[in-house]
Amino acid sequence: TDRRYKYVLRLEERTPDGGWQPVTTTEREPYDGVIPTAFWDEGITVVEYSELSPPVPDFPAAPDRYRLTLQMYDGETLAKLPVTRGGEGELVVLWGD
């Protein structure tokens, strides 16, 4: 691909009405753009370590209260990419409810 993609990694807390509210978010280009996604081969697995802050005292002890989500998007057009395990949707839950 010749596109440069970015991701949003978000820790969310369940609200009293059952929705989700962001607690902390990291948004950036993988590897801070040092190895742009434009040079990645299709089908490769990429591992990146990211930090979310501030720390949450009872995370990860409360998977029913928190969830970790991932979204990816085109850095130029801002169009969201499909990232769910089934290939449909714009969000994948990596951990939690």
pLDDT in tens, 1-13: 588 999 999 999 8
Beta strands in the chain (DSSP E): 5-14, 20-28, 66-74, 92-96
Look up residue 17 and give its two tokens: 């009405």
Q: What is the pLDDT of residue 9?
A: 93
Q: What is the pTM of this model?
A: 0.77
Distance CA 92, CA 6 (A): 15
Distance CA 26, CA 8 (A): 6
Share the mean pLDDT of the chain.
Answer: 83
Q: If pLDDT is split at 50, 70 and 90, which confidence band does 91 have?
A: confident
